[in-house]
Amino acid sequence: MCEGKPAIVLSVGTELTEGIIQDTHIRFLASELTSLGFTVCRGVEIPDNARQFSDELSRATSEASLVIITGGLGPTTDDLTRETVARAAGVPLEFHAEVWEALQERFPGRKISDTNRKQAEAPRGFALVPNANGTAPGFHGDVRGTLVIALPGPPSELRPMFNQSVIPILAARFATASEKDILWGTALMVPESSLEEALQAARRGEVAWGTRVDEDRIVFSLRGGTGSDRAGSLAALAASLGPVRIREGERRPAQLLTDALLARGVSLVTAESCTGGLVGKYMTDLAGSSRVYWGGYVSYSNAAKTGMVGVSPEILETAGAVSEETVIRLAEGALSRSDAGISIAISGVAGPDGGSADKPVGTVWMAVAVRGGDTMARLFTFSGSRDMIRRRSAVAAMLFAEARLLGRDFLDTRTKW
């Protein structure tokens, strides 16, 4: 049985229980619902099977006050969510002509197969949840006193629907926060545990939070309390972890650097060793990156550091490839060999081998050079696997360059991340 304000998520699709695709809805909804004050007592992946679906739904509505169903809203006979919810609620399906018209308008000049008419149906008495990014709307209504919300499977449809429509529905029903009562933020270069401690210390009034860990950042939401409680919590968090690490809104490091490059009207050149092209990859993940990214040198071997960017073999010999001297020369060499306005250089020990007592795995030197300004170098110490050290290095490099462009103080880089 469930305790607190109990919620259950059902993720429907045989492609899930056969392991063909990875479910991501349970995690997304669990995170969102937790930060809205719900206790998620179960996330269940079930196949497109009428009996199992009915059993799960019946069990879920008997235990939770909120059940969210994802998937099963497509046009095929495998898609069982409408029928299953209608049966559980004891109502027939109802055809929504306006949905059918909108669906036909999405494909002007094309004949829409009649099997799609199903997508214009919903259990009688249930309200529709609009879907701006797909053909099938969701719906919400009561099954034996439990609020049941059905949403489509594609994440690009579900996530905006959750933010735009489901949060207000939950706010109306459960007195949770609505979207305008949520303050979103991003934590960068902060371990999850440190963010949690800092959030606790920064908390004002009745503010609660939820976090989502991405590859290059942690997104957090502040909910509850008054608007000034939330703003105060965010400000206190930024004061404790620093304005480089804490940003308002959902931001990506590559986007932050891109914005700073656009604001200064300069382009970037990279010289990457241990990250092997990852900063270039992150910068060019963004559409339109050609406006700000000139190019990069992946100076992986020592010969490449010399041949591509002109680091002298003597420096590589005496100071080593992972050293302040080397990254300064990489940054200045890359800048002078380009039309860019700023350069980043990275050289470190990503592991798992190659560490020494002097330069253990996780030791990463970085330098940023600008035209007509001082070159700055920093020593970082990262923890984790090879993959984590490389990702953390790339994120730190982008923020280091952003700080230099904006004339901001950078971080205490001795702190382990």
Q: Which of residues 303-332 bind a copy of itself (CB under 8 A)?
A: 303-305, 307-308
| Total interface residues for a copy of itself by CB under 8 A | 82
45 vs 121, which CB is nearer to a copy of itself?
45
CB of 375 to a copy of itself, least distance (A): 20
Q: Helix %, strand %, coil % for the chain, to 5?
A: 40, 20, 35
CB of 92 to a copy of itself, least distance (A): 26
CA angle 358, 416, 315 (to 5 degrees): 35
Nearest to 34 by CA among 12, 6, 70: 6
**The pair of three-digit structure tokens given for residue 293, joined into one six-digit string:** 């990214």
- How far CA 42 is from CA of 10, 33, 59, 394, in Å, comes to 8, 12, 11, 36
Q: In whole angstroms, what is the distance from residue 57 CA to residue 11 CA?
A: 11
Among 277, 310, 320, 355, binds a copy of itself (CB under 8 A): 277
What does DSSP say about strands 218-223 and 183-187: parallel, antiparallel, or unpaired? antiparallel
Query: Looking at the DSSP assignment, which residues form a beta bridge with residue 11?
Result: 45, 70
Q: Among residues 252 and 390, whose Cβ is nearest to a copy of itself?
A: 390
Residue 78 Cα to chain centre, angstroms:
31
Nearer of residues 77 and 193 to a copy of itself, judged by Cβ: 193
Q: Does 74 bind a copy of itself (CB under 8 A)?
A: no
298 touching a copy of itself, by CB under 8 A: yes
Is residue 105 helix, strand or coil? helix
CA 294 to chain centroid, in Å, comes to 26
Q: Report the C-alpha gap between 131 and 165 in whole angstroms.
A: 9
Determine if 333 is a binding residue for a copy of itself (CB under 8 A): no
Q: Which of 142, 206, 215, 339 binds a copy of itself (CB under 8 A)?
A: 339
Residues 377-396: x/- map of binding to a copy of itself (CB under 8 A)? ---------xx--x------
Residue 193 interacting with a copy of itself (CB under 8 A)? no
- Using rule CB under 8 A, residue 114 touches a copy of itself: no
Nearest-approach distance from CB 256 to a copy of itself, in angstroms: 18
Q: How many CA atoms lie within 13 A of 25 on its CB side?
A: 30
In the complex, what is the shortest distance from the CB of residue 300 to a copy of itself, in angstroms, rounded to a whole number? 4
Is residue 70 involved in binding a copy of itself (CB under 8 A)? no
Q: Does 125 bind a copy of itself (CB under 8 A)?
A: no
Q: Is 101 in the site for a copy of itself (CB under 8 A)?
A: no
Under the binding rule (CB under 8 A), the answer on residue 41 touching a copy of itself is: yes
- 389 φ/ψ sector (left φ>0, alpha ψ -120 to 50, else beta): alpha
Q: Choose between 46 and 222: whose C-beta lies nearer to a copy of itself.
A: 46
**Segment near a copy of itself (CB under 8 A); pick from 46-54, 137-145, 174-182, 370-378:** 46-54
Smallest distance, Å, CB 303 to a copy of itself? 5
394 in helix, strand or coil?
helix
Dihedral (CA of 266, 271, 272, 276) sign: positive
Instruction: Based on the shown chain and the rule CB under 8 A, indicate whether residue 278 belongs to the binding site for a copy of itself.
Output: yes
Pick the binder of a copy of itself from 105, 114, 314, 353 (CB under 8 A).
Answer: 353
d(CA 93, CA 84): 10
28 binds a copy of itself (CB under 8 A): yes
Regarding 266 and contact with a copy of itself (CB under 8 A), the answer is no
Say how many residues make up the chain.
417
Q: Per rule CB under 8 A, is residue 68 in the interface with a copy of itself? A: no
Which CB, 27 or 96, lies closer to a copy of itself?
27
CB of 243 to a copy of itself, least distance (A): 25
- Told to check if 22 binds a copy of itself by CB under 8 A, we report yes
- Per DSSP bridges, beta strands 6-12 and 127-129 are unpaired
Single residue of 134, 137, 185, 210 touching a copy of itself by CB under 8 A: 210
Query: Token pair for residue 52?
Result: 């199992």
280 binding a copy of itself? (CB under 8 A): yes
135 φψ region: left (φ > 0), alpha (ψ -120 to 50), beta (else): alpha
